[in-house]
Structure 1
Amino acid sequence: MSNITPSEVSARLRDGGDSLHVLDIRNRDEYEEWHIEGSHNIPVYNSLSAGQTEALRSRLNEIPEGTEIATVCIAGIVSQKAAAVLRDEGYDAKSMEGGMRGWGTVYEPYDTDVAGLTQIVRPGTGCLSYVYADDGEALVVDPALHAEIYQQFADNHDLDIVGVLDTHAHADHISSGPRFSEYLEVPYYLAETDAHDLSGYTPVAEGDTIAVGNSDLEVWETPGHTRGSVVLRLDGAILAGDTLFVRSVGRPDLEGGADEAKEGANLLFDSLDRLNALPDDTMVYPGHFSNETIRPVADTIAAIRARNDLFGVADKAEFVETILADLPDTPNNYNQIKAINTGKEPLTQQAADLELGPNNCASN
């Protein structure tokens, strides 16, 4: 067999990765922008596309012998040529199906320390979503594009999904929430401020509770990243959305110009100040990660405060100045993604390509 699935690559890397060497053949700038953690780059995409193999053969000394090789490109086509060259040289090489586009469809479930809470890690995009279950019922939080993942999880665990919630209107990835909830005929929860042109949603606001089995999940309004951002409080934990990450905080600049960014930063300070008052041992389960390797991606309020320079800042003016001075590049296609998520544009077959690339929702 000359191919390997992205899910198998993910599983092999999760097991330690010693038996699999991931070789990315894309151009260097594409690789540096977005790649599989732990992979190795030999930028021979252009030469292989032109039918020239010498560039790859000249760098065989960089490829370990006796280890299975998974070659990667953007769509899984040119990587097949790379795998064929390596097999001709005696390597056990396979092409990863779908390339980096396929990598974006990988989802990994992890149990957490909170009873009934499962974190769904999407390594190709840095997105984190959740399934909270109690007494045979489940709530899906921040679902990504591929809704079938959550349905399969529910089926495998004999759960009835009774609701879908987005902690905010996402700008980095497409939410399946509106369509998934409509298909299931269950509520889709979202703050009214973030709903814009959406219809058929169930608004949530400060102090609301969402019943799941015998549990009631409390809604906290935490504006800043978006005006309608919310956090869900569980027993001893929070689902923090894009308000607070393990090593950063949500960026406040994706809803308009400089004035809106400054207003968002001021709101975010107040929201973070509120979360900072939670007990130190409260577990934080964020909506995104960057290159953190711990699974599930989570930590306590105290641990995040100790390492996160933007969390626990006492002076609002200092916080606002710091966060606005250190914003990363604007996410690709974020306007179109947000337009889809808020009902302003339809979801198309090409929507998956809008999400390709690294996550840029953190402030630094």
Structure 2
Amino acid sequence: MSDATSESDSTPETDAIAPAALARAIDAGEPVALLDVRDRDEVASWAIEGPSIEREHVPYARFLQAEVTGGVDDLAADLELDEPITVVCGRGEASDHVADLLAEAGVAARNLVEGMTGWARVYHADEIDVEGPATVVQYRRPSSGCLAYLVHAGGEAAVIDPLRTFVDRYAADAADRRVDLRYAIDTHLHADHVSGVRRLAAETGAEPILPEPAAARGVDGVTTVADGEALAFGDTVIEAIAAPGHTSGAFAFRAGDALLTGDSLFLDGVPRPDLEAGADGAHDLAGTLHDTLTERFDALDDDLLVAPGHHGPSEQPEAGGAYTARLGDLRDRLPVFSLDRERFVERVLDRMGPRPANHERIVAINRGREQTDDETAFELELGPNNCAAASTE
């Protein structure tokens, strides 16, 4: 079962495309030509990505200048993109103007409605094929690669790693599936998005859950879960498994044959270890991450289906649309599993890129030390997935 997005594909203009429709085309592997008219630094820090995308960058200012000088036809002729061209900006206003200019120049162009802001509101849901009584639904935000999960069985459910922006979506989906939300769980103290655990608990009566060592970082008002503890709901249980490394308090959760790894293991690599203790503490946490992967996870079966907390832009989903892989396959294909501790630490520390935007403020909000309104929370987390070290394949 697949629910492609929470928004409508329809748009009032014939020369426009909704973010949901664009996401579906990218997921289907259709060729997509994007003309990004934002400033260069904006494009460099966050762009729509995918293996079937062809992108060109021409700043909006050049189109404004060409409009004044009568050079739009020449600017359009210089574009090396196949038509139709989808024009992208921050909020869909400048790109709408550019799409009109290109159309007047005879180019098949369409505006991405609401631009990158609209792109950040796209949210997919796909069921994962798992064994056991539970149904597992994977939610995906294409703009950042953030993944969350709804696990339900016997009339009750848990949501793992919910985003505050999509709390209404989880509640609505639970109602559609005729299940009551029993738990709202974070696998760790997130630094890239504002957690929906507290909001979901407040609006649905779900019990807010955080790993015991994560809560020890100064988080109040939550129930803690310890390593090895089982959370029962409906006619199933999920088991908490300590998986430190990305942060000191990171956990994974096992639901049947699914291993919800949070940010402890991705399908194309491993997480960065510097968001909690900075560069000074990254070395020790990277070593701890190696221990998690090679010792704590060593006792886990190869057949477990890894369902991570993020996916990378180069990854392709399984046939059903979800991003998963068997643990044994990851052990075979990711070289980090065969590296000794010292070489692993060196490799991870060498591959860390920019930190998530506003990560310190997001952590403060998720700890409950700062309050913010919904729109500010949404704006704070706009951007790519920067929780991973660079791909380790």
1:225 pairs with one of 224, 246, 254: 246
Q: Which residue of 2 aligns with 1:54?
A: 71
Match of 2:5 in 1: none
- The answer as to whether partners of 2:127 and 2:322 remain within 8 angstroms in 1 is yes
The match for 1:289 among 311, 315, 327 is 311
User: How well do the aligned residues superpose, as a CA RMSD in angstroms?
Assistant: 2.1
Distance 2:54 2:45 in 1: 13
Q: Which runs of 5+ in 2 are unaligned?
A: 1-11
Corresponding residue number in structure 1 for 2:282 = 261
Aligned in 2, Cα 1:276/1:25: closer, same or farther, shift over 3 Å? farther
Residue 189 of structure 1 aligns to a residue whose secondary structure is strand
Residue number in structure 2 paired with 1:240? 261
Amino acid in the other structure paired with 1:100: M
**1:306 is the counterpart of 2:332:** yes
Of residues 117, 121, 126, the one that matches 1:101 is: 117
Could you tell me how far 1:96 is from its partner in structure 2?
A: 1.7
Query: CA 1:256–1:91 in structure 2 vs 1: closer, same or farther (change >3 Å)?
Result: same
1:66-100 CA distance string (max 9 Å, x none): x4x43210111101101111222344533222211
Contact in 2 for aligned 1:48/1:78 (Cα 8 Å): no
**2:220 maps to 1:199:** yes
SS in 2 for 1:153: helix
Letter in 1 for 2:23: S
Task: Name which of 175, 180, 183 aligns with 1:155.
Answer: 175
Offset at 1:57?
4.9
Identity across matched positions, percent = 36
The reply to whether residue 7 of structure 1 matches residue 20 of structure 2 is yes
Kept after mapping to 2: 8 A contact 1:276/1:311: no
Give the alignment partner of residue 385 of structure 2, picking from 331, 335, 359: 359
Distance 2:336 2:262 in 1: 16
Q: Please state how far the C-alpha of 1:6 moved relative to its aligned partner.
A: 1.4
Q: After alignment, is 153-162 or 41-50 more displaced?
A: 41-50
Within 5 Å, give how 1:120-135 maps onto structure 2: 120-135=139-154
What corresponds to 1:142 in structure 2? Answer: 161
Instruction: Find the residue that maps to 1:303 and give its secondary structure.
Output: helix
Write the distance in 2 (CA, Å) between the matches of 1:91 and 1:159. 50
Q: Secondary structure at the match of 1:362?
A: coil
Contact 1:237 1:283 in 2 (8 A): yes
Counterparts of 1:80-91 in structure 2 under 5 Å?
A: 80-91=96-107
Aligned residue among 267, 272, 277 for 1:251: 272
Asked whether the 8 Å contact 2:245–2:288 carries over to 1, the reply is yes
Does 1:27 pair with 2:53?
no
Count of aligned pairs between the two proteins: 360
Deviation at 1:321, TM superposition (A): 2.8
1:49 deviates by 5.1
Q: Which moved more, 1:280-289 or 1:252-261?
A: 252-261
Cα distance per residue 1:146-189 (max 9 Å; x no partner)? 21221222233222211110000111111111111122122111
Question: 3-state SS of the aligned residue for 1:125?
Answer: coil
Distance in 1 between residues matched to 2:102 and 2:86, nearest whole Å: 10
In 2, are the aligned partners of 1:6 and 1:103 still within 8 Å (CA)?
yes
Deviation of 1:346 (Å)? 0.9
Distance of aligned partners of 1:312 and 1:232 in 2 relative to their CA distance in 1, 3 Å threshold: farther
Q: Distance in 2 between matches of 1:341 and 1:49?
A: 42
Task: Structure 1: give runs of 5+ residues left out of the alignment.
Answer: none
Query: How far apart, in 1, do the equivalents of 2:102 and 2:162 lie?
Result: 39
The answer to which of 121-130 and 277-286 deviates more is: 277-286
